[in-house]
Amino acid sequence: MEPVILKHPLIDNKLSILRNKKTGTKEFRELISEISMFLCYEALKDAKTEEIEVETPICKTKAYKVNEDDYAFIPILRAGTGMLDGLINVLPNAKIGHIGLYRDEKTFKPQRYYYKVPKDIDKKQVVVLDPMLATGGSAIDAITMLKEEGAKDIKFLCIIAAPEGIKKLQEVHPDVKIYASALDEKLNENAYIVPGLGDAGDRIFGTK
């Protein structure tokens, strides 16, 4: 399943500001949310709708409604929460879960510290959020946990992906479609994406 890399001048423009090390916390956070909204539009192009009748000021007409309860957004803590507002703007009544993982600075492997997801996760389309798909370790572990809960319909959204992360995630979870706003060059020796944008969590929350 080929990843979907969004190509649009407006997204490119936002990415140019996002990557700039001089961009401040407030603007960085807003851009993450805005790009996430674009990703959500693309990822949910296949959303199922039901026909309803509404009355406009002029007359009655057919309209089409998404059952928002069918969707669950699962950010990987902590950086994934920076993407959440963008998706909630699109589907405000979707259910929200959280998976807490951190990267061991020596092994680069993700460690779990928090896990809570909506009930009936097996009946929902699940959208996993993490701004950076670097080694793929956190995404793989989070998706594995969700599958263990019975989740079957899963998509992964990120702002920037590295080829190594895409390859590894596809090898372990070939059924999960990946959506990104940029595919970067590679990982460096510290497992950071090049050119990337630095540590997304630190820049979202202003911790460095």
Domain ranges of the chain: 4-205
pLDDT tens-digit map of 67-93: 999 999 999 998 999 999 999 999 999
First-to-last C-alpha distance (Å) of the chain: 37
Set 107, 130, 141, 175: catalytic member: 107
Can you say how many angstroms the Cα of residue 145 is from the centroid of all Cα atoms in its chain?
16
Question: What does the alpha-carbon distance between residue 20 and residue 3 come to, in Å, rounded to a whole number?
Answer: 25
Set 70, 85, 153, 202: catalytic member: 202
The CATH classification number of 4-205 equals 3.40.50.2020
pLDDT tens-digit map of 149-192: 999 999 999 999 999 999 999 999 999 999 999 999 999 998 89
Residue 70 falls in the annotated catalytic set: no
Residue 107 falls in the annotated catalytic set: yes
What per-residue confidence (pLDDT) applies to 107? 76
Instruction: Give the burial class of 92: count Cβ atoms within 10 A of its Cβ; 0-12 exposed, 13-18 middle, 19 or more buried.
Output: exposed
Residue 85 falls in the annotated catalytic set: no
pLDDT tens-digit map of 2-17: 999 999 999 999 999 9
Q: Which residues pair with 52 in a beta bridge?
A: 63
Residue 81 falls in the annotated catalytic set: no
Joined tokens for residue 5: 């890399």
pLDDT tens-digit map of 38-78: 999 999 999 999 999 999 999 999 999 999 999 999 999 98
Set 23, 69, 103, 153: catalytic member: 103
By the 8 A CB rule, do 151 and 128 touch?
A: no
